[in-house]
Amino acid sequence: MKAFITGAAGFLGRETVFAALRRGFEVTAFLHDADAPLPPQIRRVKTDLEDTAEIESLVLQEFPDAIVNCAAVTSLAAANADPARAERLNVALPRRLAMLANHVSARFVHVSTDMVFDGEKGAYEHTDMPLPRNLYAQTKLMGEREVLKYGKANASVVRTTLLSGNSFSGSKSLHERLFADWAAGRTTPLFGEEIRQPVSAGNLADVLVELCERPNLSGVYHWAGGEALSRFEIGERIARHFGLPAEKLVKRACYADVPGAAETRPRDLSFVLHPLAGKLKTRVQAFDELLAEMRVPAPCVAWYEAMTGRKVVRRLVKGVDF
């Protein structure tokens, strides 16, 4: 298959490129950084996706079999800081890509978020009514609706959650951000009432690519890890997995401690993963499997070795060493 992947320099986009290559796809990667560490066999197109002219031209010239959209404004803080940009990347871009995909009869796979729900219910099914609590979630929900409207039967929306794994920079995933805090001497406050289901970026990327090959699966689906945990429990288990003193590195926080948190942060965003979990070959991961994948981030190796007395062995990096 010929696949176009947007946001390919990002954490999830990069993993999606590798997942597509594993399945024998011919990949064109759209990215803002031409020097991003990606395999040499892909075609790179450096572009600003707020202006879709270049990708439109290539889609209409080459008729790809699939488009996977991993580009987005991905956080509440970033959306609040620049609402206009959030609207362009989270709403206007997926709308245009969905229209293009439908025009050339390509599969379109779009990534959304668990935060489209208000968090009052938990165990959300893909058919439950969304109710976003903040601007970021509102733009992602609007993007979903545009994709389904204009992508029609060619489009799939995958709502997902906190991404785990090992980013190239060592600063993107949940455990890498925790390590940065700890290495700087900070104890990390983590909400005890916020429930999520962490998923590895590699596992999610496999799902996105598999959906490219499954034209019978259109509409909205949920994908996450297999265990619903509070942010505090996640931090504790990560610290203990690495042999670190969890009681010194993480502390339980409450929404009441942070002004505005109760109004803007959903509490329980756990997912029901069916029907998608029963239809794909890619399987749902347990949290212990995510822990086993995690590596000490490169910027924190010296601190970790001094803290634990353990020697960190450098591992080969995809897109750099092989």
Q: Report, as residue numbers or ranges, the catalytic residues.
A: 136
3-state secondary structure of 319: coil
Report the residue count for the chain.
Answer: 322
Q: How far apart are CA 175 and CA 170, in angstroms?
A: 9
CB-based contacts of 10, cutoff 8 Å, min separation 6: 70, 71, 74, 172
Candidates 72, 159, 43, 59; CA nearest to 107 is: 59
Q: Tell me how crowded residue 267 is: count the other CB atoms within 10 A of its CB.
A: 17
**How far apart, in Å, do the first and last CA atoms of the chain sit?**
23
Candidates 153, 155, 179, 149; CA nearest to 167 is: 179
Q: How far apart are CA 300 and CA 298, in angstroms?
A: 5
Q: Answer yes or no: are the C-beta atoms of 18 and 42 closer than 8 Å.
A: no
Q: How far apart are CA 269 and CA 115, in angstroms?
A: 7
